[in-house]
Amino acid sequence: MALQFTTSYIEDALAIFRQYKQLGERAIAQVSDDQLFATLDDESNSIAIIVKHMTGNMRSRWTDFLTADGEKPSRNRDCEFVDPPATREALLQDWEHGWACVFSAIEPLTDADLPRTVYIRGEAHSVLQAINRQLAHYPMHIGQIILLAKHYAGAHWQTLSVARNRSAEYNRKVAAGEASQR
């Protein structure tokens, strides 16, 4: 995804969220259905569990973002780490719903909204802080998804960025206008 120059924090945050959503989707697409639900050991989370946790967080944090605490009474965080949706289709439907919550909450905002106060677990945050909190949280989990997907895909893994030992070639293509900048 090419970087779009902006001086708007909201526009930039949305672009970063979209970029990480896409990275997660590209990683998930490279694993089998069985691998979505596999764990490395008894203490590890599967890709499906990570997605379930992320989407639970997204629904809680972004529903009624400006008017209700980001930790909704209906959220049961502990349940996010057991019994993921049974199929890839159901998992991806939850994924899309979670991201829709993110985007529908942030898209109407302007940079003038950044100093407004919102609450997460009863703790006051500026809108800027609340967005930053999730900009740190979701990419961490997307990184976990990518690590697991790359592990499972093995030699069939298709890189999500510049391929190993291809930086100079990529940089030449960018300079020549033949490749999009990431």
Task: Output the CA torsion 30→33→37→41 (10° steps).
Answer: -60
Which region holds residue 5: left if phi is over 0, alpha if psi is between -120 and 50, else beta? beta
Domains of the chain (ranges, CATH numbers): 9-175 (1.20.120.450)
- pLDDT computed for residue 178 by the predictor: 75
Collapsing DSSP to helix, strand or coil, 120 comes out as: strand
pLDDT > 80? residue 134: yes
- The string of pLDDT tens digits covering residues 82-130 is 999 999 999 999 999 999 999 999 999 999 999 999 999 999 999 999 9
State the Cα–Cα distance between residues 75 and 73, nearest whole angstrom. Answer: 6
pLDDT above 90 as % of the chain = 84
Measured CA to CA in angstroms, residue 98 lies from 59, 90, 105 at distances of 6, 12, 11
Report the candidate in 30, 23, 59, 35 with the shortest Cα–Cα distance to residue 140. Answer: 23
**Cα 12–chain centre separation:** 15
Report the candidate in 70, 75, 57 with the shortest Cα–Cα distance to residue 124. Answer: 70
- The string of pLDDT tens digits covering residues 52-78 is 999 999 999 999 999 999 999 999 999
- pLDDT computed for residue 179 by the predictor: 66
- pLDDT computed for residue 177 by the predictor: 74
Q: What is the mean pLDDT of residues 10-32?
A: 97
- The string of pLDDT tens digits covering residues 160-181 is 986 676 667 766 767 777 766 5
What the block records as the tokens of 98 is 């979670």
- Asked whether the beta carbons of 145 and 95 are under 8 A apart, the reply is no
